[in-house]
Amino acid sequence: MKQIALYGKGGIGKSTTSANLSAALSEKSLEILQIGCDPKHDSTRMLMHGEWIPTVLDLVREKGEANIAVNEIVFKGYNGIRCVEAGGPEPGIGCAGRGIIATFQLLEKLNALYGDVIVYDVLGDVVCGGFAMPMREGYAQEVYLVTSGDFMALYAANNICKAIARLSKRTKNRCTLGGVICNSANIENEYELVKEFAEKINSKLVAYIPRSPIVRVSEVNRKTVIEYAPESEQADIYRKLADTIMENVPDKNRIPVPMEMDELESLSLKYIKT
C-alpha cells in the first residue's frame, strides 16, 4: 500500500491537486482512499460531485465514536474512490488537529484504512501535533509539498520541511519528502524559482501544473478535470503527476534541509524583476 500526503498552504490548490491526482490514479484500476485532513472539509467535494459529506469529528460529537458505522464516514465517489473528511471543531473552540487524530483512530478501529493508494490532503499553514500526525505516526510514507512561487506559499512549504527533518530523527518514522509540486499562480519566473527552491531543500520538482481556466470550469460543474475534461492537456498533466508518484521510490536517507529565512527571501528576490 502506497501512502502519500500532500501538504501546502491554505488556498494553494492542494485539494484540487489531491482530487485530480486521486482521479488519475483511479484510472489505473487502483483502489484509492482520499482523506481530507482540513477543517474546511472540502478535499473530496469534487470527487463526490459537489456533495459535502459528513465529517468524522461532527459524527463523533453527535453520536459518539462507539456508535459510528464505516458507511457513515466512508463514501464512494468518482470511479469508486473512497472518500473521508476529518473535519474540525466548532469555530473558535478546540484543536483543529483533533479531527485528524479522531479520524485515524476510528478508521483503524473499523478496519477501513486500506487501499492500493491512500492520499492524505493536509493543511500545511500550521504543522501542529494533529496536522503532523500523518508524518509523525508513520501513516504517510511520502510527503509532497504543494506550492507556487508566492513567498508565503514557499514559506509554508519550508516550514513543513522543518517538521519532516525533525521527525526523520525518530527511528520509528518512515516518512520522507517525495518532492515539490508547483501549482502555478502565473508568477514571473515561477518554474525556475520553485525548481531552485526544491533543489535548495535537498529535493526535486516533480510536477509543474500550469494555471488553466478548465480547472475552474470543472469545479463549477462539480467535477475534477479528469472527469469533466478527460481529453484536455490539464488532465494529462495530472495523469503524468500520478505516474511520477507511482514510480517514485522514497529515499529514507534523503532528509530535507530547510532554508533560513534570509535565504528564502534572497531566493524570492532573485527571480523578481524590478
Q: Give catalytic status of residue 162 as yes or no.
A: no
CA dist., res. 177 & res. 239, Å (int): 20
Q: Is 273 known to be catalytic?
A: no
Q: Give catalytic status of residue 223 as yes or no.
A: no
Q: Which of 38, 58, 121, 125 is catalytic?
A: 125
- Find where cell 457513515 sits: 72
Indicate if 195 belongs to the active site.
no
Helix (H, G, I), strand (E, B) or coil at 242: helix
| DSSP percent split of the chain into helix, strand, coil, nearest 5 | 40, 15, 45
Phi/psi-derived region of residue 228, left when phi > 0, alpha when psi is between -120 and 50, beta in every other case? alpha
Amino acid, res. 186: N
Catalytic member of 14, 38, 58, 150: 14
| Count of helix runs (H) and strand runs (E) in the chain | 10, 8
User: Looking at 40, 162, 200, 240, which residue is catalytic?
Assistant: 40
Residue at grid coordinates 492524505: 120
* Active-site annotation, residues: 9, 14, 40, 125
